Amino acid sequence: MTRCRKAIILAGGTGSRLFPMTRVTNKHLLPVFDKPMIYYPLTTMMLANIDRILIITGPDQIPMFESLLGDGSQWGIAITYAAQDEPRGLADAFIIGEKFVDNQPVALALGDNIFHGRGLSRLLQEAAGDPKGAQLFAVRVKDPERFGVVELDKNGRPVAIEEKPRHPRSPLAVTGLYFYDERIVEFAKAVTKSARGELEITDVNRRYIEEGQAKVHILERGYTWFDTGTPGALLNASTYVEIIQSRQALGIACPEEVAWRAGLIGDAEFSALVGGLPKSDYRTYLEGFLRA
């Protein structure tokens, strides 16, 4: 089987729930404490040893992402861009990215989802290394009616999935992180628009579940997941990152560090990257590795 080495990050949408912060910028460029939001899903994919990434956003917003991220070569990865002229649902990402996917396994990360926890890299790499079917990540929540909810049988296998159910049959909310096999474009194209006029990723996941080709990874105690689509959630995520970084002196979602630790860049490239950064707490943190 071919290991998953590709990922799509969906960073479009209007960001209306974050208005007026998103009046003149894409929400995925807003800060989560000391870094742009897009750094978090980007480094999540890098932690999975994925090095080819397609970022989908609005056509007028691509230049902003290109200015921030470039082509990714400075971090030893390849970043390309594609436009979504209007929100058409998460499954639309695979239709837009069909040439990028090229009949190979691919991951999908929502640009406003943040994951953190001990052992996350190992879990992601295991999912990327087993590209059969669909692999979903779920967490137990108090308000599952706000999310896509997956139901498991007594053996932990998914048997049903429902989008924002009025009466959830499970407390397990599906997060914005997915790994799919090479059939994903075919399945996405077969989806019809929902009542709200979108191509729902839940319908894609249901297809895999019905075929017995889905696996659910539950992010248990010790993992943290944020959907930063509202002002309150954005504040909570920023506070979390600040607490972890200040108390443990460990950076979260620093692409320079992740690339260096993963061997995507060497010591010389890392030193040159850090040396080219403006004087800031971010640069000071990374300089600590040069002195170690």
123 HSE (CA, 13 A, CB side): 21
- Which sequence spans correspond to the domains of the chain? 6-130+177-199+223-249, 254-292
The confidence band for 13, taking pLDDT boundaries of 50, 70 and 90, is: confident
Sign of CA dihedral 47, 48, 53, 54: negative
Averaged pLDDT for residues 52-61? 96
Give whole-number Cα distances, 195 to 23, 192, 198, 206, 207, in Å.
27, 10, 8, 17, 18
User: Residue 196: its pLDDT value, please?
Assistant: 83
Coil, strand or helix: which one is 136? strand
Confidence of residue 290 (pLDDT cuts 50, 70, 90): confident
Q: Name, of 13-22, 73-82, 136-145, the range with top average pLDDT.
A: 73-82
pLDDT score at 221 = 85
How far is it, in rounded angstroms, from Cα 181 to Cα 187?
10
Mean pLDDT value across residues 194-215: 91
Lowest mean pLDDT among 79-83, 222-226, 236-240: 222-226
In tens, the pLDDT along 101-119 reads 999 999 999 999 999 998 9
Q: Report residue 136 as tokens.
A: 């979903």
State the average pLDDT over residues 219-226: 92
Is the per-residue pLDDT at 2 higher than 90? Answer: no
Q: How far apart are CA 200 and CA 233, in angstroms?
A: 23
Q: For the whole model, what pTM was predicted?
A: 0.95
Average pLDDT over residues 179-204: 92
| Under 8 Å between Cβ of 173 and 147 | yes
Third-level CATH fold of 6-130+177-199+223-249? Spore Coat Polysaccharide Biosynthesis Protein SpsA; Chain A (3.90.550)
Closest CA to 97 of 117, 119, 82: 82
- Helices vs strands, H then E, count in the chain: 11, 13
CB contact at 8 A, 65 and 11: yes
Judge whether residue 292 has pLDDT over 70: no
The Cα 213–Cα 118 span in angstroms is 27
**In the chain, % of residues over pLDDT 70:** 99
> pLDDT tens-digit profile of 22-44?
999 999 999 999 999 999 999 99
Q: What share of the chain is helix, strand, coil (3-state, %, to 5)?
A: 35, 25, 40
CA distance 287 to 226: 28
The confidence score (pLDDT) of residue 71 equals 98
- The residue written with tokens 């994903």 in the block is 184
Calpha distance 76→70 (Å, rounded): 12
Tell me which DSSP letter residue 59 carries.
T
Instruction: With beta carbons less than 8 A apart as the criterion, state whether 92 and 188 touch.
Output: yes
Residue 1 has pLDDT above 60, yes or no: no
Question: What average pLDDT does this structure show over 160-187?
Answer: 94
- For residue 255, is pLDDT > 70? yes
Average pLDDT, the chain: 94
- For residue 226, the cross-strand partners are 114
Instruction: Quickly state the pLDDT bin for 47 (edges 50, 70, 90).
Output: very high
